[in-house]
Structure 1
Amino acid sequence: MSDLFGGTTAIKAISLWQPWASLGAAGVKRHETRHWATAYRGPIAIHAAKTLDLAGAPDQLCEAVNGPFWPKQLPRGVVVAVGTLVACDPAEKVADHLTQADRMAGNFTRGRFAWRIENIRRVLDPIPLIGRQGLFNWTPQTDLAPGLGPILDHGVQCRRFGWA
């Protein structure tokens, strides 16, 4: 394999409803919060599910990151980013150390788990994929490296959009 995200090896993927997937791909959502923990650590693809969560979406954050027409413009049914899942902690353990954007983009109540994803890189030309529940294996058809943007720094991205 020529790159961490090379095309010959399966990597884990997770489907997120929109706008959550795009907030992750923009580097402002560093934690994915779930009601279940995972022991997995390593490369992970962020898949934008076909479902659009308008009721739960943080409108001001979504507009700051994706523009005023974000509900109609977000990609769905595609892989939008890759990163590295580096930690899975009880949500209350990380709740006091979050940026404003991360706090708005997750549910950090007691009993939940915060999956910290770092080294996020946007997929420049999103890749169609049928999502699944939970973590699932995905084998990219080609080497992803040439089609990835630069690694996004969470703090820089939050400041860029005014949500530090």
Structure 2
Amino acid sequence: MRGRNSYGNYTNPCLTMHQPWASLLVYGIKRVEGRSWPAPFRGRLWIHAASKVPDEATIKAMEDFYREIYAVNGITDVQFPEHYPVSRLLGCVEMVGCLEREELAAWEMVPEGVRLEAQTDFCWLCEQPQKLLIPFEMRGYQRIYNLEKKIYESAVRGIRPVEGPLPVKFPIPDQRDPFSLKPGSIGARFPKSKGSEVQRSSNLDAAIAGARAAATQFSKKDQNSQITQNSNPNSARTRQMTRKLTEEDETTSPDLGKRFDTRDITSDKEGNVNQTVHEGSSRDTQPPRADSRPDSGAPSKIFAAALKGLTRS
């Protein structure tokens, strides 16, 4: 069954994210996905893990962060994923709303731990996580993109609900309007939210600082490697995608990162100069477009039998 997709031309929209953030979202541990632009739709959002293998320090920093914010609500036993697979479609969540950081941090109708997840300009509110029983290999793309129909039809049969440590049901101001939980709606609909600050311990402050540092450690090499791995470097599509990164969103960047304005100038074999803005760039002011249709991904040999028909000849 498809989610409540109420905007634009999105059909089974998917977002590529780095690990460990991708798995934490699908496992219901992470309930807020952060971006520098507001969510352009509501409904089911598929989550794909990018190709970068997370290092142990990054995993530890993020797991420590979530241990501390769950401890605020009295939950001390958080079961984290055993593995953080890369280049895989992992599952999906239901995106029910989007708020600005200050609004979510002040929203007294949600648990304190959720409010502590407000670390970016815009906070995408996620519920009902579901994970694939067998995550399978596929390509990822910049910005929100539509899953190919055959991939979707295979994936939707293999997802199962996940019970997170503290599932959250975000109050929707108007059930008839899926976009009613939007930036600016909290002050108008829930005037009692006065923004009392969550009490922070030294351990919590250290965990937040560690998570922010982990989110900023992606290098220029990682960004260029992601483009090269997912595309033919000599194709018109790759050159166009690279040039347009200054205009597009940060769909592969984690939600706690500071935004940079650093650029990397590269050239392809045909002498075309490409300008790449790295993950977290402050120049991602335009929201993603809904007309992007990816080519079919190439499933791994392990799942070739289960996913027969997904690849093109």
Q: Distance in 2 between matches of 1:137 and 1:10?
A: 6
CA distance in 2, matches of 1:148, 1:130: 19
1:147 and 2:158 equivalent? yes
> Are residues 143 and 53 of structure 1, via their aligned partners in 2, closer, same or farther at CA, if it must alter by over 3 Å?
closer
Please give the TM-score of this superposition, normalised by the length of structure 2. Answer: 0.40
- Paired letter, 1:23: L
Q: Is the 8 A contact 1:39 1:88 kept in 2?
A: no
Deviation string 1:11-50 (CA, Å, 9 cap, x unpaired) is 1111110000010111111110011112211221011111
Match of 1:93, SS state, is helix
2:99 to 89, 96, 101: 89
- Higher relative CO (Cα under 8 Å, sequence separation at least 6) belongs to 1
SS in 2 for 1:50: coil
- What RMSD, in angstroms, separates the aligned Cα atoms of the two structures? 2.9
- Aligned 1:4-153 pairs, distance under 5 A: 4=2, 10-54=11-55, 56=58, 57-60=61-64, 61=66, 64-67=79-82, 73-96=83-106, 97-98=110-111, 100=113, 103=116, 106=117, 108-109=119-120, 112-141=121-150, 142-153=153-164
Please identify which structure carries the higher strand content: 1
- Partner deviation per Cα, 1:83-123 (whole Å, 9 max, x = no partner): 221111102211244553784xx5525xx100012121111
For these two proteins, the number of residue pairs brought into alignment is 143
- Closer/same/farther in 2, CA of residues 76 and 102 from structure 1, 3 Å limit: farther
Identity in percent: 25
Higher-Rg member (1/2) = 2
The one-letter amino acid of 2:113's match is Q
CA distance in 2, matches of 1:4, 1:143: 13
Assess, with a 3 A threshold, how the Cα gap between structure 1 residues 94 and 19 changes in structure 2: closer, same or farther: same
Unaligned segments of structure 1, at least 5 residues:
68-72, 158-164
Counterparts in 2 of 1:151 and 1:66: CA distance versus 1, 3 Å: closer
CA distance in 2, matches of 1:40, 1:16: 18
Tell me: CA distance 1:17–1:149, structure 2 relative to 1, closer, same or farther (3 Å): same
